[in-house]
């Protein structure tokens, strides 16, 4: 490998990270997963001319390190752990240790480096305001999951225990209201212009807007096909020889896709453009779920164009069958 193809794989754990470098003289090492360890790792990698760093999403343990490396000018891709594990299996690496995982991620980085759409995998560097918004959005999602769990328990629990569950539900609702207030206030203060732009599209409310701002920073920076694939609403071909398989959506950012799904349900009723598009697809014989996914893709395409051009929703610009 040349200096321009130096790649790094980082296996992230709560307390430490294991690092493997391919294409340069760098012995596999372990660093603490805290600020001092991040600084030491950044200082060690900067002189190597790193072309790509790959690490897995580990529930947030990777966030601070990824930001530290990005702030130092290193290109970082945070990948889905399932994709990394599938790659390891395809390479015949069935054993699993932290050091092996770091090596596999470095090999995966070498493959990704040759992809023409590599930029799609590189997340923009989030600033402190965006990181805090992402934390608020995540906490809101956690509270909703807890609320749903308690409501389900209420249905199968003896009536004598209902007061206990109802007390917990009340606390969760109060916390949810507080988080919602913080989230809306934070968005209004730091992302007011972008929030107003997104909410100018009927179907996009405060929660959908906050989620898109926090978890889809690439919005407006990619073309319509790339942004659809990133979210996971681009139909994937399933053909082999003369056989033409049914196309399905898969992968992508599940949390963004879930919020976009709910926004599209609203848009199919309240947004004249999306509603007309949905009805046209149903009249053409499309299944409701297929039509709804197509509407999700159309809505996302429109939002992407709006952010890229910095222009609010204009129905007159979105009446073509293919969208913006």
Q: Tell me, what's the pLDDT at 84?
A: 87
Q: Tell me, what's the pLDDT at 81?
A: 87
Q: Tell me, what's the pLDDT at 94?
A: 82
**Dist CA 178 CA 137 (whole Å):** 12
**Dist CA 251 CA 234 (whole Å):** 9
Q: Tell me, what's the pLDDT at 229?
A: 87
Work out whether the CA dihedral 141, 144, 146, 148 comes out positive or negative: negative
Structure tokens at 77: 């891709």
Buried b (16+ CB within 10 A) or exposed e, 44-82: ebeebebbbbbbbbbeebbbebbbbbbebebbbbbbeee
Low-confidence ranges of the chain (pLDDT < 50): 1-3, 320-324
Q: Tell me, what's the pLDDT at 249?
A: 64
Which residue's structure tokens are 């999700």? 296
Structure tokens at 294: 């197509």
């Amino acid at each position: 490998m040349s200096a321009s193809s130096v790649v790094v794989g980082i296996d992230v754990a709560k307390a430490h990270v294991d690092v493997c470098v391919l294409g340069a003289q760098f012995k596999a090492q372990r660093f603490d997963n805290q600020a001092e360890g991040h600084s030491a790792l950044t200082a060690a990698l900067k002189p190597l001319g790193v072309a790509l760093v790959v690490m897995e999403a580990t529930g947030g343990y990777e966030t601070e390190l990824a930001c530290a490396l990005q702030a130092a000018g290193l290109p970082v891709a945070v990948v889905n752990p399932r994709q990394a594990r599938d790659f390891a299996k395809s390479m015949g690496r069935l054993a699993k240790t932290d050091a092996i995982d770091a090596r596999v991620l470095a090999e995966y980085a070498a493959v990704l480096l040759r992809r023409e759409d590599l930029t799609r995998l590189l997340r923009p560097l989030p600033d402190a305001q965006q990181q805090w918004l992402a934390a608020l959005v995540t906490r809101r999602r956690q509270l909703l999951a807890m609320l749903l769990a308690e409501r389900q328990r209420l249905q199968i629990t003896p009536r004598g225990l209902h007061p206990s569950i109802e007390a917990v539900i009340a606390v969760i609702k109060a916390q949810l209201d507080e988080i919602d207030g913080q989230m809306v206030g934070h968005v209004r203060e730091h992302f007011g212009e972008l929030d107003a732009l997104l909410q100018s599209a009927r179907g996009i409310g405060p929660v959908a807007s906050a989620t898109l701002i926090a978890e889809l920073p690439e919005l407006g920076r990619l073309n319509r096909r790339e942004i659809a694939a990133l979210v996971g609403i681009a139909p994937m071909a399933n053909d082999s020889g003369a056989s033409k398989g049914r196309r399905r959506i898969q992968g992508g950012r599940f949390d963004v896709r879930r919020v976009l799904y709910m926004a599209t349900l609203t848009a199919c009723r309240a947004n004249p453009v999306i509603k007309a598009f949905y009805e046209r697809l149903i009249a053409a014989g499309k299944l409701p779920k297929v039509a709804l996914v197509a509407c999700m893709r159309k809505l996302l395409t429109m939002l992407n164009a709006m952010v890229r051009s910095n222009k609010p929703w204009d129905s007159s610009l979105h009446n073509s069958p293919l969208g913006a």
